[in-house]
Structure formats: C-alpha cells, structure tokens
Structure 1
C-alpha cells in the first residue's frame, strides 16, 4: 500500500468522523453547553492530548527536536487563527443555529476556496479534470441543500449558515497556508504549537460560557459525546489531516469535505432523524464521482 493510498484512506476516515460529529455536537449544544464554551472544551482538550502525545514520542525518541525558523512564527500564528480559532468559533456557533446536514453540505464551499487560494498563493496548476470533479461534487451537494431534510430544527438558519461559510473559508485558507509548513516541520511538533496558540486565542470568547456549564445535570451520553468530539473529531482528525498533507495537495484534501454530507445523512437516517430519498442517492453518486476525479493522478 503506497503512502498516497494511506493518505487517501486517512482523509476518508476524517470525513466519516466529521459526518458523525455534526449530529453528536448538535445534541450537546445549546442545551448543556453553549457554543463557545464547547470550543474551550474541544481546543483545550485537544491541546493537552497533542502535548502528551508529543512528550510520549519524544521520550521514545521517535520525534526529534526541531528549531522553528523565526520567519515562520507569523505564519504559524496566522495558521492557528484560521485553522483553530476562527475555524472552531464560527463552526460551533453556526452549528448551534442551523441543522447538522445544512452545516455539512455548506462545508463544500471549501474546495472551491482552496482551488482559488492555491492558484493565487502557491501557484498550483488546476487541471480540467479536477475542476470538473469539484463541479460534480458541488452539484451533488446542492441537491442535498435544496431537497434534503434537516436533522434538527434551526433557530436561526441564515446566521448559522453564514457562520458555517466563514468556517469553510477559514479552513480553506488554513489548508493552503499550512502546506509549506508541513514540508518543513514534523506534524506532531506543529500540532502542539498551533493548538496551544489557538487555545489562547479562543479563551477570551468562551471562558464565561465554559464556567457556566452545570456538570452535575449533564447525562452520561453527553459526556461521551463531548469526549468523542475532543478525542476523535479534533485530535485524531487533525493528526490524520496533517499526515495527509505530506502526500496530498490542499485541493485533494479539501475535496473530501464532499463526503461529509453523505456520511452526515447516513448517520441521521440510522438515528431515525431523516429518511432516505432518491435525490440523496443521486447526490451521493455525484459526490463520490467528484472525489474520484480530483484524487486520481494524471
């Protein structure tokens, strides 16, 4: 199995985890935890895990100490802002206001954003096949947006959808900015710093909501869902994405976001919150075809 194949499998696993996350996180917010308070839990918990993971591997001498080039300091801070702070704050606030499936399908604007930013910033050449694949994925997702049922009622869908678009734009810029850093530094070393800086950035926004959480009335399943978001949706997915960036282009990684609405719909149906329709099957075919066209080599 080649490194590229492993990277593609990792990106698929990330899409599955995110597809489940939309529904699980929605169960937590806003009844038990407000959006920004949840961000504190997610980023803070992931920061601890990244540092423990790094210390463990350092002790085993599997990670060498790296000296960060001073000219990369600003790029790392900017990456932390777009990849952690703005990304997480806008995502959770948007998700709390709109539905999980709407959130997942709106994330498909990321590949288009990455496509443009990659061409501008890192001068990446776009092939017609890749553009066609992104268009197919967009059409499939548009069907889900227009005809797919929402999993939950949305209290303020317009604002929520706008914040999700901000999240998608922020993540798209992060993917492009972080590519050059991944070519220079070990992903484990990078993750611990970008999350620590991101945690400092989100702390002023979510601290009041975090301390207001009533832990005593929180059911066990909510604790488990919070743990899933911290460990799997944040720690594991970011590690897999960072590793994938070593082998794949930003546009290739971003297009896997097209899979998230499919998985989000599957999980919603399995939980009895949605129903399967012909339009969703057609959407899935178009999305998977788009992913195939983008990820195949010339």
Structure 2
C-alpha cells in the first residue's frame, strides 16, 4: 500500500470516528457527565497525551508574540468550540448536530473574506446564503419530540456557534501551523485550552459519580479522549501531508451520513421531513461554495 492510499485510509478512519462520536458522546451526556465536565475531561486527557509525546520530539522555541496568537486560537478552537458543541449536543439529536457541522466550510469562507480579505464571487455568495438558510430552518423548525432532544432549537444554535467558532479557528491558525511542528503547536494549544475550560468544567467534574458509572460509559469517555481528540488529529495531519487540502476537506461531508446511519442503527435518533429538507439546502450551499473554490484553485 502506497503513502497516498495509507493517507486516504487514515483520513477515512478519522471521519468514521467523528461520525460515531455524535452518538457516543450523546450517550454519556448529560445523564452521567454534564457537557462542560466532559469537555474538561477531554481537554485534560488530550493535553496530557500531547505533552507526553512532546517529551520525545525535538523542542522548538516559540516567539513571544505567537503565544498570544495560540491563546486566541485556543479560545475559538477549544473553549468556545468544544463547550458550545457538547452543550448543544446534550440538548439536540446526533443527526441534527452532525448536519450543523457541515456549515464549517461556509464559515471559513466568510471569515477568510473578512480577515484575510479574500474575494467572494457571486456563486460563493449564493452558496453561503443557501447554507445559512438551511441552518436557520434546522435551528428553528428541526425540533424533535424524541426524549434525547431536551431543547433542539437552542441545541442546534449552539452547535452552529461551534461550527462558526471552528471556522474562525482554522483561519486564525493558518500561519501558525506552517511555522511550528504539529506537536509543538498542539501541546501549547491544548494547554491554553485547558486553562480556559477549567473554570467552566470544574464544578461539573466534582459532581461525577465515578464509582457508580457503568463500564460501558467509562469506555465511551475514553473513546472521546483518545480517539476523537487525539487520533483524529494525528490521522488528519498525516493526510494533509500526503493529500491536497481540498481532498481532505471533502471527507467532512461524510460525517452526517455516518452519524445518521449509526444513530438510526442504535435507535438514538429519528429522521423527519424537516431534517431532510434542511440538510439538502445546507449541502447544496456547501457544494456551491467548495465547487467554486476548487475551480479557482485549478
């Protein structure tokens, strides 16, 4: 198997992990672990793992001015991003949450226009409008009578905030990632993130009854820390080193498909006409945005 095939395989595995995480994390929250407490566990675990790996990697000196940039990236890439996502997921359904995540490429386009001053052509504008229209429909009318969705409207909105925050993070770290090695950047990135989420998750961590928690739930918590947080980053990193960014980004569109199949198979979510309609509009909007970007690249 050549390097390209290995890269595609690893990125596919990362996408599969992301897809099933929507349901796995939903099983843990909020019954056993509240959202902010779960985030603190996730970030603490990832920080420990990446700093441990950093012991075996050549040390790099980070410029003082870049510490502020990494801190800002941690605000949007970890604190606001993860806190909004897990809180929103605890209130909505796995399928709705996975669809909202697909709006990230649209938000990247908008932030790139404002921050990096990249020009937006007419076709991209239409795509943005359609994507946001589908998002509004899902947020407003995608309520589910299922017990797993305590407040779908607010939950869907928070997942959208997460997608927007993640999109801004991708724009902010564009130069930092190319300046430092991945491990050097990510260990400081997660350390700052840990400091930021600590005040939010500390109380909820103290409320966890570890002794009465089923082994299956403990395994799911471990899955999110090791696989969703750490392995996916490393797999996507290898993929980016061997494949074009546009090739890797296409895999995000598989997440709702995987999330839907897994959620329906375990009975944690249901489909509705509103969800299907809103999903179709969002995907069409993202298609118009990314299709034009690929043509421009060519």
Distance 1:200 1:143, change over 3 A: closer
Residue aligning to 1:225: 220
Distance 1:149 1:182, change over 3 A: same
Counterpart Cα distance in 2 of 1:162 and 1:188:
32
Q: Which moved more, 1:30-39 or 1:5-14?
A: 5-14
CA displacement, residues 13-57 of structure 1 (integer Å, 9 cap, x when unaligned): 33221110010001001111111110111000111111122223x
Residue aligning to 2:88: 94
Counterpart Cα distance in 2 of 1:151 and 1:238:
33
Distance 1:241 1:170, change over 3 A: farther
Q: How does 1:75-154 map to 2 (within 5 A)?
A: 75-124=69-118, 153-154=148-149
Any gaps of 5 or more consecutive residues in structure 1? 59-63
Counterpart Cα distance in 1 of 2:220 and 2:101:
22
Residue aligning to 2:164: 169
1:269 to 255, 258, 264: 264
Any gaps of 5 or more consecutive residues in structure 2? none
Q: Which moved more, 1:174-183 or 1:112-121?
A: 112-121
Distance 1:78 1:229, change over 3 A: same
> May I ask how many residue pairs the two structures share in their alignment?
291
Secondary structure at the counterpart of residue 268 of structure 1: helix
Q: TM-score, normalised by structure 2?
A: 0.80
Residue aligning to 2:38: 38
Distance 1:248 1:133, change over 3 A: farther
Counterpart Cα distance in 2 of 1:253 and 1:130:
20
Counterpart Cα distance in 2 of 1:128 and 1:111:
16
Q: Deviation at 1:118?
A: 1.9
Secondary structure at the counterpart of residue 150 of structure 2: coil
Counterpart Cα distance in 1 of 2:230 and 2:145:
28
1:186 to 162, 181, 190: 181
RMSD: 3.8
